[in-house]
Amino acid sequence: MHITILAHGSRGDVQPYVALGLGLKEAGHSVRIAAPELFRTFVAGHGLEFAPLAGDPRILMRSVVEQAGGRSGLLRAAPVVLRFAMSVALQVMQDARQACQGTEAIIHSLLMTTAGHQIALQMGVPDFSALVFAVFSPTGAFPNPGFPDLPLGSWYNRLTHELLTQTYRHGGRLAYNWITRGKRDQYPPLSGWPFAASNRRITPILYGFSPSVIPKPPDWGEYTHVTGFWSLPAPAPGPAELVRFLEAGSPPVCISFGSVITRDAKRLTGLALEALARSGQRGVLVTGWGGLAGADLPEHIFAVESVPFHWLFPRVVAAVIHGGIGTTAAAMQAGIPAVVVPFTLDQSFWGERAYRLGVAPKPIPHQKLTAGNLTQAITKVVDDAPMRERASRLGQTLCLENGVLNAVRVLEGYLS
């Protein structure tokens, strides 16, 4: 069967779908991934067919951090995301339609929910929502990642999910109607919300996180599945110079803020270097898209722009991360504790989840980060034996899960 996956966003928003695509391909399906042009080499390098989608996610990440970074949460970042989406939405719709030509099923990520579902209805093919954090599934068990975790009970938790869902649903409809005005011959009115209970066929939701991290709540229905993290197969070793650095001394602390882009990169790098020096730790700085800046570094620090975390994290003693789902999952799977420094979107949620699991200290919002509190946090994750033991046990549990295989089985169950 030919399956098209529509994924938009940062590296952490695209990589899980590459892993899912590889699992589908291994099961005998033909897979095409539509993603921003920035990821063409990444997708094609894994042997999957690529189709481009308009928009540069680096612009989105910079805008989110600079305009909503001090107010972490999906709901408060929504206006920033909407402005970006409006600037590219019509071209993304056209690109997505082109990418889905000849396909027999469509899988869509969060930002592609409306477009993916609409295209599937028009083509008469099944569609699936594949998400990496809990959204569109109201529950009383925990709040939506876009809201603070307040001790107000299940009514508050369910309300946060409903608010986020309705904001996305109706905001998306208004945006669609605006950008397609005067083009109804090409873009008919939206046919409906994919998760409405009144639908003849509800779009199933697959969540790419572990039930050991977020168990499926009892109030989620039969069309909602928690499959496990969607991780790529074992990656190739990192650069030879990094391998030599790792082998030359004690396991270092990795510091990386992933796809975060911020004007604060120089300050954050200074804080990281000072905290490593105060705590007496060697360090690996993974500079990413601009959360950290390269600089003249002492001998006990190694900087690299990009390296597979699933290869690096088992070789370090702990990690300081931004709390994106991909990086957080990699730390948990490696069995190491992490210091989470959230910037925006769902990062505070994952930092809080790691803290409640006992594998991380309390998250430190990036605007409150100092050399002092970062030093204390690094010292804790390195020296706290019970925390390290909990992280190790969680890693062992996660290594027994195969989220990609579970997701493929769920998809094939529907498609058959």
CA dist., res. 86 & res. 80, Å (int): 10
Q: Is 152 helix (H, G, I), strand (E, B) or coil?
A: coil
CA dist., res. 129 & res. 15, Å (int): 16
Average pLDDT, stretch 52-72?
Answer: 67
Confidence of residue 295 (pLDDT cuts 50, 70, 90): low
Position 1 pLDDT exceeds 90: yes
Q: For the beta carbon of residue 290, count every other beta carbon within 10 angstroms.
A: 18
In sequence order, which ranges of 186-322 are alpha helices (DSSP H)?
A: 240-247, 265-279, 309-312
Which range has the worst mean pLDDT, 16-30, 195-209, 261-275, 333-347? Answer: 261-275
Find all residues with CB under 8 Å of 181, minimum gap 6, and list them: none
* Interval 356-394: pLDDT, tens: 999 999 999 988 999 999 999 999 999 999 999 999 999
Confidence of residue 198 (pLDDT cuts 50, 70, 90): confident
Q: What is the pLDDT of residue 64?
A: 61
In sequence order, which ranges of 288-416 are alpha helices (DSSP H)?
A: 309-312, 325-334, 347-356, 371-383, 385-399, 403-415
Q: Which residue has the higher pLDDT, 322 or 188?
A: 322
3-state secondary structure 17-47: HHHHHHHHHHCCCEEEEEEEHHHHHHHHCCC
Full-model pTM:
0.91
CA dist., res. 292 & res. 263, Å (int): 10
Q: Is 162 helix (H, G, I), strand (E, B) or coil?
A: helix
Q: What is the pLDDT of residue 55?
A: 83
Residue 187 near residue 180 (C-beta atoms within 8 A): yes
Q: Which residue has the higher pLDDT, 146 or 364?
A: 364
Q: What is the pLDDT of residue 366?
A: 85
* Interval 104-132: pLDDT, tens: 999 999 989 999 999 999 999 999 999 99
Position 38 pLDDT exceeds 70: yes
Residue 161 near residue 137 (C-beta atoms within 8 A): yes
Confidence of residue 7 (pLDDT cuts 50, 70, 90): very high
Whose tokens are 């789902």? That residue is 325
Position 175 pLDDT exceeds 90: no
Q: What is the pLDDT of residue 95?
A: 95
Position 258 pLDDT exceeds 60: yes
Question: Residue 53 is inside which H or E element, if any?
Answer: strand 49-53
Give bridge partners of residue 304 from the DSSP assignment: 286
∠ CA(307), CA(313), CA(314), 5° rounding? Answer: 130
Confidence of residue 70 (pLDDT cuts 50, 70, 90): very low
Q: What is the pLDDT of residue 180?
A: 82
Q: Which residue has the higher pLDDT, 371 or 84?
A: 371
Q: What are phi and psi of 57, to 5 degrees?
A: -65, -20
Average pLDDT, the chain: 89
Which range has the worst mean pLDDT, 17-21, 44-48, 238-242, 293-297? Answer: 293-297
Confidence of residue 162 (pLDDT cuts 50, 70, 90): very high
CA dist., res. 321 & res. 16, Å (int): 18
Q: What is the pLDDT of residue 199?
A: 83
Q: What is the pLDDT of residue 136?
A: 93
Question: Residue 107 is inside which H or E element, if any?
Answer: strand 105-108
Q: For the beta carbon of residue 274, count every other beta carbon within 10 angstroms.
A: 15
Percentage of the chain surpassing pLDDT 90? 63
Give bridge partners of residue 51 from the DSSP assignment: 34
CA dist., res. 412 & res. 414, Å (int): 5
Q: What is the pLDDT of residue 87?
A: 67
Q: What is the pLDDT of residue 268?
A: 84
Residue 113 near residue 167 (C-beta atoms within 8 A): no
With left for phi above 0 and alpha for psi between -120 and 50, is residue 52 left, alpha or beta?
A: beta
Position 67 pLDDT exceeds 60: no
